[in-house]
């Protein structure tokens, strides 16, 4: 059989003309047959911009307008080349209109007997408006008719028709209707007529005002929050947002029916108030919502009254504060001698009355809720004055000339004690202080006899011990060198006293480190 070769042909779909609504999507297709590798080109007859996107395929090409706008009101020409010699082209006319929604009726003010009423009818985004006809009716009876035949708008516009009249009491409850028509005979589209109705009512609103919280009224810190105030009113309203602050004052926020907080913070917790005002009657209505921003404990702090260093016997008050939602639970722990933390109290305030040395140590406050925990610590120092002082005199308080005397002292105290030895003299008091923990007195004489006062002291207090030393006849061997040591120790450890050796030193020292208290005393007389 002979092979039938199809002739080169083309077509545009849709053909010749298309009526499209502004804002929608329009696709023009240029299709070919009888050509293996056609090439396509699109243009407007006036060489205006295409206002769309071209996509070429093997045997067809599309021109997509998304969305269709007023710039697409043209004759579009598709040209197809098959090889070098064959060429075909066809055109299509794109005609546009816009009639997307029903009229909007506003009646202001709402009906009050004896006062005029204005009916406002708005027709959104109309094109071409020079064909628009508007009727305002009451219960089917035409109150007002208006057209826009002389309008020369070149794009979509919202057209408004107003009409005022004096209603009668019988008009209450009757229906006001706005009819908008766009009768363009040469355009095939539907609908060409749109209708909206509203009843004449007495003033009402705002009423049934509520607040919606999205995603809810209990959020985690950082979440977004959107509060919307919804009300019913047949008159224009204004919405004002306020918030109750912690000090009972009111904070003005915004004038909008929607309040948005992109990233909530803990301080956004509180009572929010939406107030709606009827701009005609000034009637107001309020709605409230409690917003709770949840978070783990933070800003945990410890305060100590009167101070972190106190004297034994005083009263200490430790207070732990922490912010968080829900309110954190506060508990106290104390570090034991082994380094472990021992639970001791579950309250924000930890009182310690009649403080003792064993109360000294590290205290830890823990703030906890289901979203986390936070800890803070404080060290309590208890100052203990010198106490339980023990003084030992060796060999005794009664010695012979040439002998050595050793005095030892032990005590409990915190912080470490200092000591001063005072020799009570007839004319003046000779004071000797300890240096390097040791004092050596060689070969006492009768001049060393007398009353000595041992003053043991620290920041918390002092304690004085009296020592009477008697010196009698010399030893037979006067050249015998027996060391005489006066030693004092004051140990501050609370649990275990330690003996410290304190040296009483005057201003002049002998060679080889020895020192004579006798000569020191004589120099000061």
| Range in 119-123, 126-130, 311-315 with the lowest mean pLDDT | 311-315
Q: What is the DSSP letter of 114?
A: T
pLDDT digits (tens, 9 = 90+) for 306-334: 999 998 889 999 999 998 888 899 999 98
In angstroms, the CA 483 to CA 478 distance is 13
CATH fold of the domain at 213-228+236-294: Immunoglobulin-like (2.60.40)
Q: Domain 295-383 belongs to what architecture? A: Sandwich (2.60)
Place of tokens 């020409």: 77
Backbone angles phi, psi at 407, to 5 degrees: -115, 125
- CATH architecture of the domain with range 9-97: Sandwich (2.60)
Across the range 497-521, mean pLDDT stands at 31
- Is 65 exposed, middle or buried, given 0-12, 13-18 or 19+ CB atoms closer than 10 A? buried
197: tokens are 């109705």
Rounded to an integer, what distance in angstroms lies between the CA atom of residue 333 and that of residue 342? 5
DSSP structure class, residue 327: P
Structure tokens at 39: 């090439």
pLDDT tops 60 at residue 3: no
Judge whether 233 and 140 are in contact, CB under 8 Å: no
Q: What is the mean pLDDT of residues 172-191?
A: 91
pLDDT band for position 505 (cuts 50, 70, 90): very low
Domain boundaries, the chain: 9-97, 104-200, 213-228+236-294, 295-383, 384-472
Structure tokens at 342: 């021992």
Give Cβ neighbours of residue 289 (< 8 Å, ≥ 6 apart).
211, 213, 217, 227, 271, 272, 274
Residue range 164-184: mean pLDDT, rounded? 88
In the numeric block, which tokens belong to residue 441? 């007195």
Give the Å distances, CA to CA, from 161 to 97, 106, 122, 476. 20, 11, 6, 140
Residue 86 CB neighbour total at 10 angstroms = 13
Which architecture does CATH list for 104-200?
A: Sandwich (2.60)
The CATH code for residues 384-472 is 2.60.40.10
Residue 172 pLDDT > 90, yes or no?
no
Burial level of 423, CB count in 10 A (0-12/13-18/19+)?
buried
- 145 or 480, which is more confident: 145
> What's the pLDDT at 5?
60
| Rounded Cα–Cα distance for residues 142 and 133 (Å) | 13
Q: What is the predicted pLDDT for the residue at 63?
A: 95
What is 392-446 written as a DSSP string?
Answer: EEES-SEEEET---EEEEEEEEES--EEEEEEE-SS-EEEEEE-TT-EE--S--G
Least-confidence region, from 127-131, 396-400, 508-512: 508-512
Stretch 298-313: mean pLDDT: 91
Cis geometry, peptide bond prior to residue 206 (ω within 30 degrees of 0)? yes
Which stretch of 203-217, 231-245, 499-513 has the lowest confidence by average pLDDT? 499-513
Q: Are 117 and 165 in contact (CB under 8 A)?
A: yes
What DSSP string describes 160-209?
Answer: EEEEEE---GGGTTPEEEEEEE---TT---S-SEEEEEEE--B---SEEE
Q: Is 346 helix (H, G, I), strand (E, B) or coil?
A: coil
pLDDT digits (tens, 9 = 90+) for 26-74: 999 999 999 988 999 999 977 888 999 999 999 999 999 999 999 999 9
Specify the 3-state DSSP secondary structure of 99: coil
CA-to-CA distance for 322 and 324, rounded, in angstroms? 7
Topology match between the domains 213-228+236-294 and 384-472: yes
Contact in structure between 177 and 144 (CB atoms under 8 Å):
no
Supply the DSSP string of 83-97, one letter for each residue. Answer: TTTEEEEEEEEEEEE
Q: Is the pLDDT of residue 157 over 50?
A: yes
SS3 359: helix
């Amino acid at each position: 059989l002979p092979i039938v070769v199809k002739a080169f042909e083309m077509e545009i779909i849709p053909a010749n003309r298309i009526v499209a609504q502004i804002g929608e999507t329009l696709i023009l297709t240029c299709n070919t047959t009888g050509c293996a590798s056609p090439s396509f080109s699109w243009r407007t007859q006036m060489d205006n911009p295409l206002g769309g996107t071209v996509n070429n395929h093997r045997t067809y090409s599309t021109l997509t307008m998304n969305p269709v706008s007023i710039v697409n009101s043209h004759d579009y020409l598709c040209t197809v080349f098959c090889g070098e010699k064959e060429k075909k082209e066809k055109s299509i006319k794109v005609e546009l209109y816009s009639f997307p929604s029903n009229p909007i009726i506003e009646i202001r003010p709402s009906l009050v007997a004896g006062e005029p009423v204005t009916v406002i009818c708005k027709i959104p985004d109309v094109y071409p408006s020079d064909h628009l006809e508007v009727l305002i009716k009451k219960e089917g009876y035409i109150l007002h008719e208006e057209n826009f035949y002389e309008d020369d708008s070149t794009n979509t516009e919202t057209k408004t028709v107003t009409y005022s009249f004096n209603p009668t009491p019988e008009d209450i409850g009757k229906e006001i209707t706005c009819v908008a028509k766009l009768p363009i005979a040469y355009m095939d589209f539907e609908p060409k007529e749109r209708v909206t109705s509203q009843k004449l009512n007495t003033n009402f609103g705002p009423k049934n005002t509520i607040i919606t919280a999205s995603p809810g009224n209990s959020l985690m810190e950082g979440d977004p929050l959107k509060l919307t105030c919804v009300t019913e009113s047949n008159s224009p309203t204004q919405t004002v947002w306020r918030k109750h602050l912690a000090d009972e004052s009111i904070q003005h926020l915004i004038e909008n029916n929607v309040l948005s907080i992109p990233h909530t913070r803990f301080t956004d917790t509180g009572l929010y108030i939406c107030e709606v005002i009827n701009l005609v009657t000034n009637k107001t209505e309020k709605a409230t919502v409690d917003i709770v921003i949840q978070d783990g404990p933070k800003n945990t702090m410890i305060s100590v009254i009167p101070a972190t260093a106190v004297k034994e016997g005083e009263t200490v008050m430790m207070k732990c504060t922490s912010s968080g939602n829900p309110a954190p639970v506060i508990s106290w722990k104390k570090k034991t001698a082994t380094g472990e933390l021992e639970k001791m109290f579950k309250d924000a305030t930890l009182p310690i009355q009649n403080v003792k040395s064993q109360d000294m140590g590290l205290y830890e406050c823990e703030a906890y809720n289901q979203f986390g925990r936070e800890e803070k610590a404080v060290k309590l120092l208890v100052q203990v004055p010198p106490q339980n002082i023990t003084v030992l005199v060796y060999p005794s308080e009664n010695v012979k000339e040439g002998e050595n005397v050793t005095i030892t002292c032990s005590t409990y105290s915190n912080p470490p004690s200092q000591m001063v030895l005072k020799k009570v003299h007839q004319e003046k008091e000779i004071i000797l202080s300890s240096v390097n923990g040791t004092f050596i007195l060689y070969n006492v004489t009768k001049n060393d006899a007398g009353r000595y006062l041992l003053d043991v002291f620290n920041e918390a207090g002092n304690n004085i011990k009296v020592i009477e030393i008697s010196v009698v006849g010399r030893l037979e061997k006067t050249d015998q060198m027996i060391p005489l040591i006066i030693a004092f120790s004051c140990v501050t450890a609370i649990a275990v006293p330690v003996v410290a050796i304190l040296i009483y030193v005057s201003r002049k020292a002998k060679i080889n480190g020895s020192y004579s208290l006798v000569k020191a005393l004589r120099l000061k007389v």
